[in-house]
Chain A
Amino acid sequence: MYGRVTGVTVLGVGGHLVTVEAFVGRGLPSLMFTGLPGAAVNDARDRIRPAVENSGLEWPLRRVVVNLSPGNLRKEGAGMDLPIAMSVLGATAQVPARALTDVAFSGELSLKGELLPTPGVLSVAIAAARAGIGTVVVPSANAVEAAQVDGLVVVGAASLEEVAGFLRGTWQAPRVTHRRAAPTPGASLDLSEMRGQHQARRALEVAAAGGHNMLMVGAPGAGKTMLARRLPTILPELSREEALEVTQIHSVAGLLRGDGLLRERPFRAPHHSVSIAGLLGGGAAVLRPGEVSLADHGVLFLDEFNEFRRDAVEGLRQPLEDGRVVVTRAVGSVEFPARFTLVAAANPCPCGYDGDPRKGCSCRPDRVQSYRAKLSGPLLDRIDLRLRIPRLTKDELLGSEPGEPSAIVRDRVQMARERQRHRLLDLGVTCNAHLPGPLARREARLDPAAEQLLARAVESMALTGRGFDRGLKVARTVADLEGAPSVSEAHLAEALSYRIGFGEQDGLARAG
């Protein structure tokens, strides 16, 4: 009495094939698992028998052993319920063994035998397709998600009974309708809604074009959040691979609502009280992606940047450098993609009104100083664009012309990205922000007037070491936006304007 089916367990965002074998032999009725089952899989022990019996099928009143292999891989997730049930049904010949080959199963069962929406189905489908398996059987709620993978027959079933029917050839799965979301990212938000803030709007464009991270310092209500929310609307559209990766992560996190591929770049804005696990990924039994991974290919917005826990912020260094985050816990170690643009925002001082021409700051100078000290640190070195966002007066608001719509800006961004990709092809980077320092100097290609300006900037102490490299990278992006082969004086000057001189306090070094 032996049965064997294929399931998929999801670790991190990746799916791994698992061979599920069942043996029904002599002994007191029991169900036993071998082969490193995780907590959620062990849970299935008491769930599967009622599910089978409530589906008009029979549970063998004998000793059942289920083995999950490879044995060195920890099996996680409720998605293993269905393959385990099918292996037992196969072993007791309730479904034809022939029908169990070339099929992968995934889905969580209820006691009534229904198939419940299950996280990570996209990863399951991708793993199955990669292994050359022709058919996946998944909960009907996840069918659209699985159908995003090409070359795979997707069977969306609502219950265990339907799955059995499908294998016996007595039930046909309804056709999966590809309800792909129309590619209209950020339809609700547009850059043209920002009045005034010319410099900030332009800085967003530069950030999007060069992949630069950004820090905005300004009074409450100046518009920092409003600006940050509009960054995804001017980033290039997601490619299909990127969209798959984004969808996969959201699927694993259980945040997908069965809408097919995510076409919009994610925008994540965790509160500053977020835990390290919440920000970077983690968890006790199941390792879940954190905010950095949910923001993959999108924007991670950290408002009140210096209120975040120091260790959490330090943890951002790895994803900012490598585009991925490795989470290690007692249950194992997994890797999540985390390639995002960081937008940090902070008030200039605890009360928020330092530097405001009309409303005076009411903070004690030493408190301002310690508040700003929190803004420095190694992470700040990875932020190329820094700017003050002034709180506009009524006249300044009314006197400003409305900005360009996102679509026009995005076209320029896309062209600038294309130029960078072309130019940087041999260097193994895709955008200016990722250029290492020495290469930034070589790649910038300054014209004579720009050289002169740069020399002057270095002389007047406005620029030092890292600030120098940052300035060149940003200048290069400004030139790319214009399609200019070399960096002119105007490009460099604009780049130099995206820095913050915290010269307003005694004894404070310039943070730019």
Chain B
Amino acid sequence: MDSPVRADAAAEHENQDVVPPGYPAGFGVGKGERDALLCLSTLRGITPRRLHTLAWEVGSARACVGAIRSGRAGSAADRDWIRAADATAIRGQLAACNGRLLGPHDDRYPAAFTDLLHDPPAWLFARGLVLEDGPDRVAVVGARKCSSLGREIAHDIGRRLGGIGVQVVSGGAFGIDAAAHRGALAGEGTSIGVLGSGLDVLYPRSSAALLLEIAERGMLISEYPPGQRAEPHHFPARNRLVVALSRAVVVVEGAARSGSRISVDHALDLGRDVFAVPGPVTSPLSETPHGIIRDGGTLIRGADDLLADLGYVSALAADAVAPSGLSDVEFRTWRALATTSLPDGIARTAGLAVPDAVTVLIRLELRGLVRGVGGRYERTLAGALGASGA
């Protein structure tokens, strides 16, 4: 059997050093070319990398369609898909969700994507504000299944970046991604969500409201045509766009072998700065950030460090101090909370009776300085940063 995979691999190997960056002149320019891009976007077999090579071999999007139709490139399934593709229908779906198509020579196609030497997206679907190359962008990524503290940190970083006009890029997923987006919106900033599904498929469903708000006050972008569901293999590909768009990548929490690790590998390939927020050495969620730090990433303790390292402000974060305005028992209780602890353990360390310690903990919790987690208590970000609890 003639294997298109092997043929692809051979072609890629031969051309590895000769394929130029970006796309040939005229690629995706004009109505016919744009229709060809829409048709190409429905293919699910051919990789962005292979398509990029093909574009330089044949010179135009229409020629790419021809090559796939004739079977010279892509898989047999791609051939069926390209025959079934209907550019007009896709354009209709796109219009229905206020989406736009961006070709690689479009003014609004972010120049940053040409940093992706081997697999720049040949098209983009965008929804919301116009993507400009002016403002700085920073990616904040991490675990979907994160801790409360991780979520607070991501939210705080997003808020502070948004507050000084830096755009916050993330993947729109649960957990850290969502917290970073929310933070950016809370800081009156702009957020960019890069989706692993079509622009009209708001995944995860429970974040639909957040994604719609991002579309309104920032933008959503995607490589996938409208109606395309999120598939597991879309997310690593999506991560390369998140990183390429940004000048730096911040990883807040991530288990071993996480998607965040893939983002960091992209960042190293593209020469982006990498930052990581450490956590307890015992926590599985610290594995990716700690791995990054050991590999030379920059340790940050929160938004202050990040803003200083990126040159937006001059001073580093101050060392953690106790929140102001605490009474004696409150201070003793707060100090006993160096690590996440049980109420009886806190009471013992603070030298209090358990009911008294519980009273103080609830008072501190109502002031937002501590929180209960699974039957234990820990300091919140506000508590740890020494914010006034008044």
Contacts and interface: CB of A to CB of B under 8 A. Distances in A.
Interface in B341-390: 342-345, 348, 354-356, 358-359, 361-363, 365-368, 371-376
Contacts of B204: 365-366
Contact of A506 (B147, B175, B280): B175
Contacts of A503: 148, 371
Contacts of A456: 366
Contacts of A34: none
B372 A501 contact: yes
B160 interface: no
A345 to B, nearest CB: 13
Contact of B284 (A360, A399, A493, A501): A360
A489 B360 CA distance: 10
Interface in A355-382: 355-361, 363, 365-366, 368-369
Contact of A357 (B206, B283, B356, B359): B283
Nearest to A365: B174
Interface in B316-349: 340, 342-345, 348
Given A363-B145, A504-B148, A357 B376 contact: yes
Interface in A450-503: 453, 456-457, 460, 462, 489-490, 493-494, 496-497, 501, 503
B3 interface: no
Contact of B362 (A354, A392, A396, A496): A496
B61 interface: no
A490 B282 contact: no
Interface residues of A, number: 44
Contacts of B283: 357, 360
B193 to A, nearest CB: 14
Nearest to B145: A365
Contacts of A399: 345, 348
Q: How large is the interface on B (under 10, 10 to 19, 20 to 34, 35 or more residues)?
A: 35 or more
B373 A355 contact: yes
A506 B206 contact: yes
A490 B371 contact: no
Nearest to B353: A490
B371 A501 contact: yes
Nearest to A460: B366
B255 to A, nearest CB: 6
A196 B355 contact: no
Interface centre among B175, B178, B361, B375 (most CB of A within 10 A): B375
Interface of A: 196, 198-199, 202, 218, 348, 354-361, 363, 365-366, 368-369, 387-390, 392, 396, 399-400, 453, 456-457, 460, 462, 489-490, 493-494, 496-497, 501, 503-507
13 contacts: A355-B373, A357-B374, A359-B284, A360-B283, A366-B206, A388-B374, A490-B359, A494-B355, A497-B343, A497-B361, A506-B179, A506-B206, A507-B206
Interface of B: 144-145, 147-148, 151, 174-175, 178-179, 204-207, 255, 280, 282-285, 340, 342-345, 348, 354-356, 358-359, 361-363, 365-368, 371-376
3 closest A-B pairs by beta carbon, nearest first, are A355-B374, A390-B375, A360-B284
Given A390-B342, A400-B344, A504-B148, 6 more contacts: A202-B354, A361-B145, A392-B342, A399-B345, A453-B362, A490-B356
